[in-house]
Chains A and B, each alone.
Chain A
Amino acid sequence: MQIINLAWVDYAILIAYVAFVLGIGWALARYMKSSSDFLTSARSIPTWVTGLAFISANLGALELVGMAASGAKYGIATAHFYWVGAIPAMIFLAVFMMPFYYGSKARSVPEYLQMRFNKPVMGLNAIAFAVMTVFASGISMNALAKLLNQLLGWNYHVALFVCSGVVLVYVLKGGLTSAIYTEVLQFFMIVLGFAPVVYLGLKDVGGWHAMNHSLQSVATDPSALYLKGAGITYAADAWTSAWKPVLAGPANNPMGVDWFAIIFGLGFVLSFGYWCTNFLVVQRAMAAKNMAAARNTPLVAAVPKMLFPFLVIVPGMIAVALTSLPDKNYRIPPPILSQEVYAKAIDAVKSASPADSAAGVKAVGDALGKPVSAEKIASLIAANAANKLSDEQIEKGIYNSIAENDYDGVILSLVKKYCPPGLLGLALTALLASFMSGMAGNVTAFNTVWTYNLYQAFLVPNKSDDHYFWMGKFITVVGIGLSIACAYFARQYNNCMDIIQLVFGFVNAPLFATFLLGMFWKRTTSIGAFLGLFGGIGGSALFHALTIAHGNAPGIKGGYVHVLGEFPSEMAQNFWLAAFAFTVCFTLTLVISLATRRTKADEELKGLVYSLTPKIKSDNVPFFLQPGVVGVMLLIACVILNIIFW
């Protein structure tokens, strides 16, 4: 992998960005006077700001990198994460749930659970959430430092500490407000930094229609680009239609899912679980200056979110189309290999005899430790024997023959291909911005949950606000320190990280059932909620232990107890797992609630449960700006998008 050398203009852009981000923290520092200023922004921020921060906090770099990767792997169907998943859930949050989060005056999502149920339910949620945020930011910081190391040759440790240090300074100075304000800046940075790359890429493949045309020929033979195993073919629209391939069944779309898994598993359980209960995003809406602003936050966010697939998924599709056009001299990058590995493989090519190309192919494959295209290596060996090639030419040939794609490299490979100095700095800064907004989002959610829901609630109650203000700052430093530790942990033990992410999947999948019943059914009891949640987590673990995705060996990927069912893909397994966990949690909570006595009277649940809370009257707001009406309009827009890309 060639290291990119940055020009002075790239550094200038990078430095300007860091200076502004730190400056915002500095400018806000003088407003930080109490724990609530620091941890909850004292509910004072305008709607458009919280709205953009709402999506920016979610727009970590793993999202950017991952969505482009999925765009390449699955095509436009990836947009289901937005048009079936995020948007309806965000509208539901705005119209139905925000009145309870904001109206209850809870300072966090776990705190709402305490008001609605009791401390144990809140504790369970708070601990799981706190651990999760620290690991999430650690995993993403590790990815960033690795990337800067591979791409720019920066020292891993320096990159990790400098980036975390910048986040630490501005969060410590300006608290949640500064995280939210910088998230808005980062939002524009990400959009304006990546848009030109998408524009140039689309222009290069010949525009939208030409791209679709190329993708249609790819779909009938995806193995030619190493997208799928040999022999697998799809209908021509597998990468370019969002619904038709899904409706045709799991065998007919590259995601390997059916419509039920998409609508119920992804659309209902996973997305509602994430967007409606994850404090990381909900916190942004809770910082709004009044109830109307809080409810409008997810609605404002939904507009750009709806268009995001064109920024984050389309690059993946461009990459596939480019790879299929031989004259573009591009391929989806193979896994990153060191220069020594390439040197060994080059030697293997040089010493191979064209008469026995099979042995040569094997030698090259062994040197690389990756599957290779026998045909391409054989012709490379033959070409080298006929007419001595330079090391550079051989390396290029080897690079093109590695029969495996590193989809996570898609977005950066496009940046490298299209950006001259200047624009390169802008795109890299956008990437850095997305990492920082993700980390700051995690850290600000973590310090609030720790200070209010764990420290104040369980460990040291009844102290002065100064004490909790101090603790909020102290735990911010600790949180960043823990994130750095997790980054090193992730670097050492990739497998452990997979397990941790898996466990979080178990914890999150059933959560929405608890909120749904708690918020909309006054009969739900604390015991029912607690046991239902536990049962749901157990249910997902059990489901995972008994099922497996096609092509995976029993083990960390599932089926380690016994294989009862097999799914066509990991994604299908995940969606069904979520659907199962939700159902278990829902049923258990329902049944146990019916069997146990209520501990909270109707009066205590006022403002916490739908049927016991007076509806919000917003007579002074014109009809077409009422959250419900705006929500319906956004849903219609979403349906139209689904139909356009049907």
Chain B
Amino acid sequence: MGLDIRLPIGLMFSLLGVLLTGYGAFNRAGSITKIDGQEININLTWGVVLLVFGALMLFGAVRGRKTPPPA
């Protein structure tokens, strides 16, 4: 089928990554999880993870488009 699933996956997780990172950066107070007194801005951290994952998927999709697999 003519759809490379990496494209929508990459787009979606990049978008979610932007949302989470953005929320974590601009609403620090609301993004904190306290563990043993240590404050973790989990939105910011995990948002970056999602961005990296999304980018990797997009990279794969773009590279796949240049060299179309044998049908």
Binary A-proximity of B21-64 (CB < 8 A = 1, otherwise 0)? 00110010011110110001011001101100100000000000
Given contacts A184-B9, A200-B40, A420-B42, contact A426 B1 (CB under 8 A): no
Q: Does A524 contact B (CB under 8 A)?
A: no
The CA-CA distance from A583 to B5 in the complex, in Å, is 44
Please give the distance in Å from A183's CB to the nearest CB on chain B: 10
Which residues of the partner chain A approach B27 to less than 8 Å between Cβ atoms? 421
Given contacts A13-B19, A192-B49, A204-B35, contact A420 B5 (CB under 8 A): no
Query: Is the pair B31, A426 in contact by a Cβ cutoff of 8 Å?
Result: no
Query: Is the pair A185, B30 in contact by a Cβ cutoff of 8 Å?
Result: no
The CA-CA distance from A192 to B2 in the complex, in Å, is 26
Please give the distance in Å from B71's CB to the nearest CB on chain A: 9
Please name the residue on chain B nearest to A12 by beta carbon. B19
Given contacts A12-B19, A24-B8, A188-B53, contact A422 B1 (CB under 8 A): no
Question: A576-606: which residues lie under 8 A (CB-CB) from chain B?
Answer: none
The CA-CA distance from A12 to B12 in the complex, in Å, is 12
Which residues of the partner chain B approach A188 to less than 8 Å between Cβ atoms? 9, 13, 53
Which residues of the partner chain B approach A196 to less than 8 Å between Cβ atoms? 42, 46
**Interface core residue of B5, B9, B13, B40 (most chain A CB under 10 Å):** B5
Query: Is the pair B5, A418 in contact by a Cβ cutoff of 8 Å?
Result: no
Q: Does A45 contact B (CB under 8 A)?
A: yes
Q: Does A460 contact B (CB under 8 A)?
A: no
Q: Does A642 contact B (CB under 8 A)?
A: no
The CA-CA distance from A23 to B12 in the complex, in Å, is 11
Please give the distance in Å from B9's CB to the nearest CB on chain A: 5
Range of interface residues on chain A?
35 or more
Give the secondary structure class of A's interface.
Answer: helix
Please name the residue on chain B nearest to A184 by beta carbon. B5
Q: Does A152 contact B (CB under 8 A)?
A: no
Query: Is the pair A17, B30 in contact by a Cβ cutoff of 8 Å?
Result: no
Please give the distance in Å from A185's CB to the nearest CB on chain B: 5
Q: Does A16 contact B (CB under 8 A)?
A: yes
Q: Per a CB cutoff under 8 Å, which of B2, B12, B23, B69 touches A422?
A: B23
Query: Is the pair B35, A9 in contact by a Cβ cutoff of 8 Å?
Result: no
The CA-CA distance from A188 to B47 in the complex, in Å, is 14
Q: Does A470 contact B (CB under 8 A)?
A: no
Which residues of the partner chain A approach B20 to less than 8 Å between Cβ atoms? 9, 13, 422-423, 426
Query: Is the pair A192, B33 in contact by a Cβ cutoff of 8 Å?
Result: no
Q: Does A27 contact B (CB under 8 A)?
A: yes
Please give the distance in Å from B10's CB to the nearest CB on chain A: 10
Q: Does A388 contact B (CB under 8 A)?
A: no
Q: Does A49 contact B (CB under 8 A)?
A: yes
Please name the residue on chain B nearest to A41 by beta carbon. B1
Which residues of the partner chain A approach B12 to less than 8 Å between Cβ atoms? 16-17, 20, 185
Please give the distance in Å from B28's CB to the nearest CB on chain A: 10
Which residues of the partner chain A approach B30 to less than 8 Å between Cβ atoms? 7, 420-422
Which residues of the partner chain B approach A44 to less than 8 Å between Cβ atoms? 1
Please name the residue on chain B nearest to A9 by beta carbon. B23
Q: Does A31 contact B (CB under 8 A)?
A: yes
Query: Is the pair B36, A204 in contact by a Cβ cutoff of 8 Å?
Result: yes
Please give the distance in Å from A35's CB to the nearest CB on chain B: 16
The CA-CA distance from A185 to B6 in the complex, in Å, is 9
Known: A20-B12, A177-B1, A422-B19. 17 other contacts (CB 8 A): A9-B19, A9-B20, A13-B20, A16-B15, A16-B19, A23-B8, A27-B3, A28-B3, A41-B1, A181-B5, A184-B9, A185-B12, A203-B35, A419-B42, A421-B27, A421-B31, A426-B20
* Chain B residues engaging chain A, CB cutoff 8 angstroms: 1-3, 5, 8-9, 11-13, 15-16, 19-20, 23-24, 27, 30-33, 35-36, 40, 42-43, 46-47, 49-50, 53, 69
List 9 interface pairs A-B (beta carbons < 8 Å), by A numbering: A20-B8, A27-B3, A196-B42, A200-B42, A420-B32, A421-B31, A422-B31, A423-B43, A426-B46
Nearest 10 CB-CB pairings of A with B: A422-B43, A20-B12, A422-B23, A9-B23, A181-B5, A204-B35, A196-B46, A420-B31, A31-B1, A422-B20
